[in-house]
Amino acid sequence: MPPANDDPVLRSARREAVVVFLIWLAAMVYTVTYCYLNGYNRPVESLKFVLGFPDWVFWGIFVPWTVCVVVSFYFGATFMCDEDLGEELPEQEDELGLGGG
């Protein structure tokens, strides 16, 4: 458990990272499990095509990745927030006379 005095930006970033990791983990577990169970040791006669893809590719890869894109877009558009990072520091010159150093 992180300390209670953590910066709110850090807590928000951690929370968002955990949600994104869980989305990735769910998609990976589903994809690997489904494709393993339905793509291997299967008679050729049982192979069907959905929109030009073998059925196990369509339901095991195409659909979950499409769902991940939609869920990720929804999460990013509704739950992720833009935090105030504080006051901008004055620009300093480096040894070459360029800014940003």
Q: What pTM did the predictor assign?
A: 0.70
Residues 73-92: pLDDT tens digits? 999 898 887 777 677 767 76
C-alpha separations of 9 from 14, 48, 59, 92 in Å: 9, 49, 38, 25
Mean pLDDT of 1-9: 70
CA distance linking residue 59 with residue 46, whole number of Å: 15
**How is residue 29 written in tokens?**
């577990």
pLDDT band at 100 (very low <50, low <70, confident <90, very high): low
Residues 21-74: pLDDT tens digits? 999 999 999 999 999 999 888 888 888 999 999 999 999 999 999 999 999 999
Domains of the chain: which residue ranges?
8-78
Within a 10 A sphere around the Cβ of 90, how many other Cβ atoms? 5
